[in-house]
Amino acid sequence: MKCSLDCIPCLVRQSLMVTRMVTSDEAIQEKVLRETLSYASNLNLRQAPLLSQWIYRQVRKYTGQDDPYLQIKRESNRMAWELYPKWKEIILKSDAPLVNAVRMAIAGNIIDYGVNAILNTSDIPSILEKSYHSPLMGDIGEFLSALANAKDILYLADNAGELIFDRLFIELLNPEHITVVVKAGPAINDALMEDAQAAGLTELCQVIDNGNDGPGTLLDYCSPEFVERFKKADMVIAKGQANYETLEGYPRPIYFLLKVKCPLVGNHIGSGVGSLVVNKNTFTASEAENQRVPAETVIQYNNPNQKG
Amino acid sequence: MKCSLDCIPCLVRQSLMVTRMVTSDEAIQEKVLRETLSYASNLNLRQAPLLSQWIYRQVRKYTGQDDPYLQIKRESNRMAWELYPKWKEIILKSDAPLVNAVRMAIAGNIIDYGVNAILNTSDIPSILEKSYHSPLMGDIGEFLSALANAKDILYLADNAGELIFDRLFIELLNPEHITVVVKAGPAINDALMEDAQAAGLTELCQVIDNGNDGPGTLLDYCSPEFVERFKKADMVIAKGQANYETLEGYPRPIYFLLKVKCPLVGNHIGSGVGSLVVNKNTFTASEAENQRVPAETVIQYNNPNQKG
């Protein structure tokens, strides 16, 4: 998706909200804000996800916290497990468990601290309940049909906590067909390997990381191993807005499952803010070229907790 | 008022809205946005009104329009005159004409294309009606008492159109005691000399300009003549948020008449967004020093339509 200029003021606002969440030190808040303004002034303004990745790197750099959302992610996992039995029962007893499991996986996409930096974990149960009852848009029939035929499904996860609602859906599929993909390093509250472990997914199916610490899937910044898997998979399912923003024009079929959180994505995808959407990408070769993020400053994420 | 870091993302957003209002050329929109980001990254981020002034200068520079809000201002003047007889009657027949004229002058502060760049002139009558019935906060008694005693009142105007509702109030005072101050050059839809003429104020009382084309009253950028008048006046009345932001800490008594339009000003002044406020400034010498905008880059506005 070609980002709008409107993404820039929104991300500048996010940079301030996020820094405030991590530190009350106004000098650091000002430093990150100032650096964000300076970086954005030189960036291709259509590449908002790059700015987002960069902002979170600055927050980590200046606050000295490698994973500022660690506690929030753990709390989201705990809260999601608390809700899991209730929702599993609702879904399994419903008239269309698979469709409702998809609906729940998308509804769980509300656990997002990027767009909504002031989300309270304790509000998650009620917001989730409301989200589950939002309109489900898109071609769910085609999605389920593709799902039934695919033998190698790459499932690009979005946030910690949300992953436990993804699990509800994945449990209804053949786990041998599924590979869940998490981020290699902290990107807002995006799920990492430890969140996949917390969700019990590593015991259920294969889990890999994408080699990057940016939101969505910035392919030029991901590991070659992941990119290879991405190209070859029978089916790619990508959760959340950031994946839509970064992958929508890529020349291979991708099924996006997301909750629409901003009017620009809503306009692009043809559904209102708040909708739960199943969307298969459409693309042309020229669009795909436009989408490409030039790898002028490729920085692989080096996990400080890993050797090598 | 010491600006908050929150003012910066808001102004970045405004720069995009304003440029879009003046031109549909996306290249110019991007250019102004990029320059805004760059300028803001080096600015003292507490001096938001300076950024605002700068943004509108960029819009003028890149669009080649010296006064992008000219038509809007003229339309506001026309609309305000259309509403004038009705409101004059309401006020004069009310139980407290002077208080209600003050209320109306503040209510008229909704004609503001800075905070609300998408205001439709045709919506003004209904928004004004609603605004007039907003809560009136502050010490109106002390204000009226000061008004009764002052012989040299400087009335710092805010927007075009609004000036016609200011007139309703000024008509109830001794015109010989009043000097209305407008901007010397285009600053959003702030009133200029031609708007004071359109409001018939030049025939009613003295009207001067402040020598600057920035929002509010950035004293270090105003003409020495105006600053002298400002210091010596018996009473200063300053309309609108931008005057509050730029003058609130100045070490002389100032009566601010404004409609609260943003939560930060609301918190500072102690009234909710939407309130009509009469506020006398409080200050300490150290605050006054903090307020001072260093005159490192003083640029007087050169009116291209005037000789000399």
Domain B70-297 has CATH 3.30.2130.10: no
Question: Is B34 in the A-facing interface, judged by CB distances under 8 Å?
Answer: yes
Residue pLDDT, tens place only, A217-236: 999 999 999 999 999 999 99
What CA–CA distance (Å, rounded) separates B162 from A27? 39
pLDDT at residue B285, as a whole number: 54
pLDDT at residue B232, as a whole number: 96
Output the furthest CA–CA distance in chain A (Å, rounded).
55
Q: Do B37 and A41 touch (CB under 8 A)?
A: yes
Q: Do B33 and A5 touch (CB under 8 A)?
A: yes
pLDDT band for position B297 (cuts 50, 70, 90): very low
Q: Which residues neighbour A257 within 8 Å (Cβ) at sequence distance 6 or greater? A: A102, A105, A106, A109, A237, A238, A239, A240, A277, A278
Is the pLDDT confidence value at A300 over 50?
no
- Per the model's pLDDT, the better-predicted residue between B110 and B229 turns out to be B229
Q: Are A288 and A251 in contact (CB under 8 A)?
A: yes
Q: Parse chain A into domains and list their residue ranges.
A: 7-65, 70-295
CA distance A279 to chain B (A): 28
Q: SS3 for A243?
A: helix
pLDDT at residue B116, as a whole number: 62
Q: Do B5 and A33 touch (CB under 8 A)?
A: yes
What CA–CA distance (Å, rounded) separates A54 from A282? 28
Contacts of A38 in chain B (CB under 8 A): 37-38, 41-42
Question: Is B26 in the A-facing interface, judged by CB distances under 8 Å?
Answer: yes
pLDDT band for position A51 (cuts 50, 70, 90): confident
Contacts of B34 in chain A (CB under 8 A): 40-42, 45
Q: Do B37 and A38 touch (CB under 8 A)?
A: yes
Q: Return the amino acid letter for B74.
A: R
What is the 8-class DSSP label of residue A211?
S
CA distance B171 to chain A (A): 43
pLDDT at residue B264, as a whole number: 87
Q: Are A279 and A31 in contact (CB under 8 A)?
A: no
pLDDT band for position A285 (cuts 50, 70, 90): low
Q: Are A214 and A244 in contact (CB under 8 A)?
A: no
Averaged pLDDT, B5-10: 89
Q: Are A269 and A151 in contact (CB under 8 A)?
A: no
Q: Are B56 and B185 in contact (CB under 8 A)?
A: no
Instruction: Read off φ and ψ for residue A77, nearest 5 degrees.
Output: -60, -45
Q: Do B8 and A33 touch (CB under 8 A)?
A: yes
Question: Is A98 in the B-facing interface, judged by CB distances under 8 Å?
Answer: no
Q: SS3 for A154?
A: strand
Q: Are A15 and A33 in contact (CB under 8 A)?
A: yes
Average pLDDT over chain B, rounded to whole?
88
Averaged pLDDT, B102-125: 83
Q: Which residue of chain B has the CA closest to A9?
A: B13
Residue pLDDT, tens place only, B36-51: 999 999 887 667 778 8
Residues 43..62 of A with a Cβ closer than 8 Å to B: which? 45
Nearest to A38 among B29, B35, B38 (CB): B38
Q: Which residue of chain B has the CA closest to A34?
A: B41
CA distance A167 to chain B (A): 38
Question: Is A16 in the B-facing interface, judged by CB distances under 8 Å?
Answer: yes
Averaged pLDDT, B56-80: 90
Domain A70-295 has CATH 3.40.50.10880: yes
pLDDT at residue B53, as a whole number: 85
CA distance A270 to chain B (A): 23
Averaged pLDDT, B91-100: 96
Contacts of B8 in chain A (CB under 8 A): 12, 16, 33, 37
Pairing mode of beta strands B255-259, B276-280: antiparallel
Question: Is B33 in the A-facing interface, judged by CB distances under 8 Å?
Answer: yes
User: What is the interface size between A and B, counted as CB pairs within 8 Å?
Assistant: 58
Residue pLDDT, tens place only, A141-159: 999 999 999 999 999 999 9
Residue pLDDT, tens place only, A183-207: 999 988 999 999 999 999 999 999 9
Q: Do B5 and A12 touch (CB under 8 A)?
A: no
Best residue in A4, A7, A8 for a mutation probing chain B (most B CBs within 10 Å) = A8
Question: Is A9 in the B-facing interface, judged by CB distances under 8 Å?
Answer: yes
Best residue in A12, A45, A58 for a mutation probing chain B (most B CBs within 10 Å) = A12
The residue with tokens 């105006």 is B226
> Helix, strand, coil % (nearest 5) of chain A?
55, 10, 35
- Return the CATH fold of A7-65: Helicase, Ruva Protein; domain 3 (1.10.8)
Question: Is A12 in the B-facing interface, judged by CB distances under 8 Å?
Answer: yes
pLDDT band for position A298 (cuts 50, 70, 90): very low
Averaged pLDDT, B158-163: 96
Question: Is B16 in the A-facing interface, judged by CB distances under 8 Å?
Answer: yes
SS (H, E, C) chain B: CCCCCCHHHHHHHHHHHHHHHHCCCHHHHHHHHHHHHHHHHHCCCCCHHHHHHHHHHHHHHHHCCCCCCHHHHHHHHHHHHHHHHHHHHHHHHCCCHHHHHHHHHHHHHHCCCCCCCCCCHHHHHHHHHHHHCCCEEECHHHHHHHHHHCCCEEEECCECCHHHHHHHHHCCCCHHHEEEEECCCCCCCECCHHHHHHCCHHHCCEEEECCCCCCCCCHHHCCHHHHHHHHHCCEEEEECHHHHHHHCCCCCCCEEEEECCCHHHHHHHCCCCCCEEEEECCCCHHHHHHHCCCHHHCCCCCCCCCCC
What CA–CA distance (Å, rounded) separates B112 from B17? 13
